[in-house]
Structure 1
């Protein structure tokens, strides 16, 4: 493709490709500015795994947008006891409203912060634990308070049912990993 042919793809409302780029949200995020500013040729000593992971998440368009207040709130989840798991519902609702954070990601975040209380809920794990009772809660196009209430209730019922399944050689702390394997071994295809 030559430049003349390339220019045919430029939307008419933009002066040039730089103007078009300036109007694409992904390329104008705080993360884009941060990774553009790495300047590794001049500061190679600043290369880190954190920078690598930020680049990967940026490219996958999966970098979560979590503000400082919610980040601090997540840190407090580490102190919850099993009996208080439902106290995390407001935090879970906030996570679900963050860009690039779905139910599996939100519950994985909770799980790694406090694995004795929380476990990841994805389609496979859900199917093994609650699949015969109800459908996995797929999000609507626009999240509503009713959906957030429903998904939180579903998640905490999932955790309660999971606790009943674990023990005697099946630790709660690894349950999410093993349920995933059980569902795969069953041969069930994800729909």
Structure 2
């Protein structure tokens, strides 16, 4: 008796990865389902780390290509999304280091500002998000990543430590120092920033009040 093949969209991520590893005719469909399922998260991570650049589309493709090459290294004891987003973070880090100037400076271009509105959820938050990203350009790579992943991506300290491959204490320290530096940068840019210095996932995220101070 012939059995009907299970459609990829009905499988969990671990089973999809297993199909990809087995190869054959089902591997392509399984990986396409992983791409469909997780591409929005990858694009959001890259956009938060690098800004609303056209390169995000290319880097998301490269992220999945790298994931395909390294599928044999994935261990199912952690969610596939965590593993994939770590690859995206490393891709963003490498890309950022290749830039001669901060990608956030490109927010001055009208076409980049319009693209930002389509990349980020909640268009009403766009003005605040733009200002925060301008301030982020003044942070070191380590501090910027910590603030972005904790504040904008909503990672817990444990998840942040895992993503950055550091201890929880180091992750907490980077968030604290990053917030302090971001506050100073936003003030320098002429904004009154309310950025909590306490590392508490339940605390208010980066926000602005009062608009420009000059």
> TM-score if structure 1 supplies the norm length?
0.30
Give 1 or 2: higher strand fraction.
Answer: 2
More helix by share: 2
> TM-score, normalized by length of structure 2?
0.28
Rg larger in structure: 1
